[in-house]
């Protein structure tokens, strides 16, 4: 089996595939910093969809999600967007925790492990 890396930078790749799995780096709202939790979550989920599709996967194939919130009181706001995005019947294993994120402009970060189409 071969390891493949996508959108690789100095410190990380945005996606890595191996053995029928795809591992996404934690995604933040690069295109919407400083906006509301809803807007940031929408931006992040669009990024996740794009990354998954680029490696032959999609949101129905997500196995595990880890969500970090800068303020856990925003849990329900994030879930409104998540619930609208996640296809019914395909909810992954998931954990959500409060954490200090990379910068104060980020309110949400989401990491994903999914199955590829291989």
| Pair 101, 107: CB distance under 8 Å | yes
Closest Cα to residue 82, out of 30, 113, 38, 34? Answer: 38
Task: Give the model's pLDDT for residue 118.
Answer: 58
* Domain assignment of residue 55, given as a range: 4-115
pTM: 0.95
Please report, rounded to a whole number, the percentage of residues in the chain having pLDDT higher than 70. Answer: 99
Residue 73, classed as helix, strand or coil, is: helix
Q: What is the CA radius of gyration of the chain?
A: 14
Question: What confidence tier does 26 reach under pLDDT thresholds 50, 70, 90?
Answer: very high
Residue with tokens 């609208």: 84
CATH of residue 81: 3.30.1330.40
Please tell me the distance from the alpha carbon of residue 52 to that of residue 112, in angstroms, as a whole number.
9
Domain count for the chain: 1
Give pLDDT, residue 83.
98
DSSP assignment string, 40-62: HHHHHHHHHHHHHHHTT--GGGE
Return mean pLDDT, the chain.
97
Q: What is the pLDDT of residues 65-100, one digit of tens each?
A: 999 999 999 999 999 999 999 999 999 999 999 999
Asked if residues 25 and 15 have their Cβ atoms less than 8 Å apart, the reply is: yes
């Amino acid at each position: 089996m071969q390891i493949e890396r996508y959108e690789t930078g100095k410190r990380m790749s945005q996606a890595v595939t191996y053995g029928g799995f795809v591992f996404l780096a934690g995604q933040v709202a690069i295109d919407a910093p400083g906006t509301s939790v809803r807007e940031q979550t929408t931006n992040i989920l669009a990024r996740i969809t794009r990354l998954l599709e680029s490696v032959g996967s999609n949101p129905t194939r997500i196995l595990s999600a880890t969500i970090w919130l800068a303020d856990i009181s925003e849990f329900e706001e994030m879930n409104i967007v998540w619930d609208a995005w996640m296809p019914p019947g395909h909810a992954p294993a998931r954990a959500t925790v409060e954490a200090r994120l990379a910068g104060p402009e980020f309110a949400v970060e989401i990491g994903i492990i999914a199955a590829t189409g291989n």
